[in-house]
A and B are shown apart, each in its own frame.
Chain A
Amino acid sequence: DAGVIQSPRHEVTEMGQEVTLRCKPISGHNSLFWYRQTMMRGLELLIYFNNNVPIDDSGMPEDRFSAKMPNASFSTLKIQPSEPRDSAVYFCASSLNYYTGELFFGEGSRLTVL
């Protein structure tokens, strides 16, 4: 079975540009999470979807960040405009449902904002 698929794997962009990260969760999984990993802050939960509905976006740093899940097999995380402090590895993860909680991560998208 395919795992969680993220794209792009690497993105280098200039400050002020729009960045879109994409995620395809494991088929049949109803919960999707976006995490950000930095050396300073470790792994932080940005937003959580259950059955395509955003449940908690309290971890989204500011209005420049937005996330959507238009269907069960696709989610995007958008940063507009991007800033150098957004440089990090962004992980998407999915789980079967909220109650089981066993989490499976994608390979991550490494973002560098110059």
Chain B
Amino acid sequence: GIQVEQSPPDLILQEGANSTLRCNFSDSVNNLQWFHQNPWGQLINLFYIPSGTKQNGRLSATTVATERYSLLYISSSQTTDSGVYFCAVEKDDYKLSFGAGTTVTVRA
């Protein structure tokens, strides 16, 4: 199956800082999604982005499919951004393969 590697595994930010999370994957994909799992455990769909760039408020994502990576940008971080960010990919079936996640802690 596809291997998904996320980096860094942990990230501590001061409120207001910017950051970049990375997702590398081992094969071409049809589907790539970013999720945020908040401290209460809820998994929220952030972006469906198999290629290209999307923005939603302070968050944006870019996927370079030909080079097999995706980046998630958090700008002007807030404490509510804390949690675990997952990248998930799918090649040619319905099975999303999840990375191990990046744990983000934003300090006030």
Contacts and interface: CB of A to CB of B under 8 A. Distances in A.
Interface of A: 31, 33, 42-43, 45, 48, 50, 55-56, 89, 91, 93, 98, 100-105, 107-108, 110
Interface stretch (B9-17, B41-49, B64-72, B73-81): B41-49
A110 B41 CA distance: 10
Contacts of B100: 42
Interface string B66-104: 000000000000000000001010100011101011000
25 contacts: A31-B94, A42-B98, A42-B100, A42-B101, A43-B86, A45-B95, A48-B95, A50-B94, A56-B94, A93-B43, A100-B48, A101-B30, A101-B31, A101-B33, A101-B94, A103-B33, A103-B96, A105-B42, A105-B43, A105-B45, A107-B41, A107-B42, A108-B41, A108-B42, A108-B43
A101 to B, nearest CB: 4
Contacts of B43: 91, 93, 105, 108
Given A31-B94, A55-B94, A89 B48 contact: no
Contact of A98 (B48, B88, B94): B94
Contact of A102 (B48, B86, B95): B48
The 7 A-B pairs with the shortest beta carbon distances in the complex, nearest first, are: A105-B43, A101-B31, A102-B48, A43-B98, A98-B94, A107-B42, A48-B94
Nearest to A97: B94
B48 A101 contact: yes
A102 B94 contact: no
Contacts of A107: 41-42
Contact of A101 (B35, B90, B101): B90
A101 B31 CA distance: 7
Contact of A104 (B31, B45, B90, B98): B45
B27 to A, nearest CB: 16
Nearest to B86: A43
B29 to A, nearest CB: 10
Given A101-B48, A101-B90, A103-B33, A45 B96 contact: yes
A108 to B, nearest CB: 6
